Amino acid sequence: MLKKEARLITGGLSAPSKMPGYAYNLPAQACITGEALVKIPRSVCSGCYALKGRYRFTNVKEALKRRLASLGDPRWIQAMVVLITGERWFRWHDSGDLQSPEHLQAIFEVCNQTPLTRHWLPTRERKFFKNMDPEEVPSNLIIRQSSHMINQAPVKSWPWSSTVMDDGSHTCPASKQDNKCMDCRQCWDRSVKNISYGKH
């Protein structure tokens, strides 16, 4: 499969300016847990960045819809492998989130077939891996379960987590370096149990 065909099947990858590599995004409107949280003041999803700014452009909305629709294509795994192979770092869902257990298993297979790529998946959809042993997660993938509220403590039910803080205690250095990862790779690092981001 050629990359051109793979992009047509999947809707292509996104390229967040903050990241050291590519990502894959879905419409924030399709977030399952986020759909409820966005209505709750002081939730991490309240004022979601993926519901404003460039995400409101027609061409961006259409691209996000194509990616969401592509999840049901039987060629999706192979196409994602074609697009990701050769990348050192990859982020799942710079907007949007997991849609189903089948979606998560498809991501696992993509990770298994791209062993030289380090994958990071932040999510609020704990129900899709609630009974999963962390050992079942491909070794080149880290799933970070995100706390729902600003200044909320890290979750205890999963070994890797992320939080959002507005009290200056965040550990993500991006706010001090032009909102970019630069040489930081904490999010992909399994030895870092929790990453705390500054509210933006």
Highest mean pLDDT pick, 44-58, 84-98, 171-185: 84-98
Is pLDDT above 80 for 19? yes
What is the distance between the alpha carbons of residues 23 and 26, in angstroms, rounded to a whole number?
Answer: 10
C-alpha to C-alpha distances, 53 to 11, 28, 67, 168, nearest whole angstrom:
20, 13, 19, 25
Q: Say how many CA atoms lie within 13 Å of 4 toward its Cβ.
A: 0
Q: What is the pLDDT of residues 126-158, one digit of tens each?
A: 999 989 999 999 999 999 999 999 999 999 999
Q: What is the pLDDT of residues 47-81, one digit of tens each?
A: 777 666 666 767 788 889 999 999 999 999 999 99
Q: What is the pLDDT of residues 93-129, one digit of tens each?
A: 999 999 999 999 999 999 999 999 999 999 999 999 9
What is the distance between the alpha carbons of residues 115 and 167, in angstroms, rounded to a whole number?
Answer: 38
Cβ–Cβ under 8 Å, residues 129 and 163: no
Q: What is the mean pLDDT of residues 2-24?
A: 93
* More confident of the two residues 51 and 198: 198
Cα dihedral sign for 37, 130, 120, 156? positive
| pLDDT score recorded for residue 198 | 86
What is the distance between the alpha carbons of residues 12 and 80, in angstroms, rounded to a whole number?
Answer: 9
| pLDDT score recorded for residue 129 | 92
Least reliable range by pLDDT among 88-92, 119-123, 138-142, 164-168: 164-168
Average pLDDT, the chain: 92
